[in-house]
Copies of this chain bind each other. A is one copy, B any other.
């Protein structure tokens, strides 16, 4: 069961509202690397978990934290949409600040559909899609999936960090980036507890080795035609 208070997990401050950045932040809310996805992913993994209680508990702890990240980002979007800055207005050669903001790169639906607020969509306005909630019922597969979600999520947050000069927004992103660092560690720590990468592989490890076509289970297959050298490395 869930509870809330009226605080944000970390300060969200916007020094100079920027409706263009409000659009970019949408990727971190409703995008495939975003916070709605990890929130639902960890919660569904917890709710479907049949293994040791501690993993279920851990997933619930962190899934709940992620709801607060959606909250921080939705708040950041609303703050970035407070008025349309003069610079955009001038550039757009129009007297209507919202028209100017849309021409300058704002998501039109943040105004048309939401009256200047965040949407459950990505930076191109594509709605959040529940098929990205990966909860496979295999704890090792889920942990790799979670590492991936946090790795692409952190890459996204670092890119957003580069695209703003706003001190408030940079501060918020420094926090979210740090949490993504922790969460990457956290899911990998579970893999270590489960025996490490070698120990969990191949996933699922319940399938008997003798049942797979063993002589193709550790071979790199080259598909190049003549003249193409297969690459060399540990992976071949």
This chain: copies in complex: 6
Taking a contact as CB atoms under 8 Å apart, the answer to whether B147 and A32 are in contact is: no
Report how far A147 CA is from B138 CA in the complex, Å: 13
Chain B residues near A148: list those with CB within 8 A.
134, 141, 144-145, 147-148
Q: Bound complex: CA of A196 vs CA of B38, how far in Å? A: 25
**Closest CB in chain B relative to A224 CB, distance in Å:** 6
User: Do the beta carbons of B235 and A185 come within 8 Å of each other?
Assistant: yes
Q: Residues of A at under 8 Å CB distance from B?
A: 1-10, 20, 23-24, 27, 30-33, 36, 40, 43-44, 47-48, 50, 53-55, 57-58, 60-62, 64-65, 67-68, 70-71, 74-75, 78, 87, 91, 93, 96, 98-99, 102-105, 107-109, 111-138, 140-141, 144-145, 147-148, 150-152, 154-156, 158-163, 165, 174-175, 177-182, 184-190, 192-193, 197, 201-204, 206-207, 211-214, 216-225, 227-236
Q: List 25 A-B contacts (CB under 8 A).
A: A2-B4, A20-B99, A32-B113, A47-B118, A48-B116, A50-B78, A55-B231, A61-B231, A96-B165, A115-B138, A119-B135, A121-B124, A122-B125, A123-B125, A132-B132, A145-B151, A158-B206, A174-B213, A180-B202, A181-B202, A181-B217, A188-B201, A190-B233, A193-B235, A197-B197
